[in-house]
Amino acid sequence: MGKEMESITSIRLIALIDNATHYEGPILAENGISLFIEIKSKSSAIKILFDTGLTGNTLINNSKQLNLDLSTIDAIVISHNHYDHTGGLLNVLEKTGKPLPIIMHPDALKPKYAILPSLGIKKLTYTGPPFPWEKVKEKGGVFALSKGPLTIAENVMTTGEIPRTTEFESVDGFYIIDNGKFKEDILLDDQALALKLNNDSLVLITGCGHSGIINTLQQAIKLTNAEKVRAVIGGFHLIDAASDRIERTVEELKKLNPEIVVPMHCTGFKAKKKIADALPTAFRELYCGDYIEIV
Residue 259 is predicted with a pLDDT of: 98
Other CB atoms within a 10 A radius of the CB of residue 293 amount to 10
The C-alpha atoms of residue 133 and residue 13 are separated, in whole angstroms, by 27
Residue 160 is predicted with a pLDDT of: 98
- Quote the distance between the C-alpha of residue 252 and its chain's center: 20
Classified as helix, coil or strand, 135 is helix
Kind of pairing between the strands at 181-184 and 151-153:
unpaired
Does pTM top 0.85 for this prediction? yes
The 10s digit of each residue's pLDDT in 33-73 is 999 999 998 888 999 999 999 999 999 999 999 999 999 99
Of the given ranges (24-28, 79-83, 215-219, 278-282), which has the lowest mean pLDDT? 24-28
Residue 2 is predicted with a pLDDT of: 40
The residue extents of the domains of the chain are: 8-294
Classified as helix, coil or strand, 234 is strand
Does residue 21 surpass a pLDDT of 70? Answer: yes
Does residue 4 surpass a pLDDT of 60? Answer: no
Which of 12, 14, 48 is closest to 156 using CA atoms?
A: 48
Classified as helix, coil or strand, 37 is strand
Does residue 253 surpass a pLDDT of 50? Answer: yes
Residue count (the chain)? 295
Calculate ∠ Cα 153-159-163, nearest 5°.
160
Task: Assign residue 37 a region (left: φ > 0; alpha: ψ between -120 and 50; beta: otherwise).
Answer: beta
Sheet holding 174-178, edge to edge: 121-126, 112-116, 174-178, 181-184
| Cβ–Cβ < 8 Å for 93, 101 | no
The 10s digit of each residue's pLDDT in 132-176 is 999 999 999 999 999 999 999 999 999 999 999 999 999 999 999
In a 13 Å sphere around the CA of 20, the CA atoms on its Cβ side amount to 12
Q: Which amino acid, 235?
A: G
Name the band, by pLDDT with cuts 50, 70 and 90, for residue 3: very low
The C-alpha atoms of residue 87 and residue 288 are separated, in whole angstroms, by 17
8-294: which CATH topology?
Metallo-beta-lactamase; Chain A (3.60.15)
The C-alpha atoms of residue 77 and residue 54 are separated, in whole angstroms, by 15
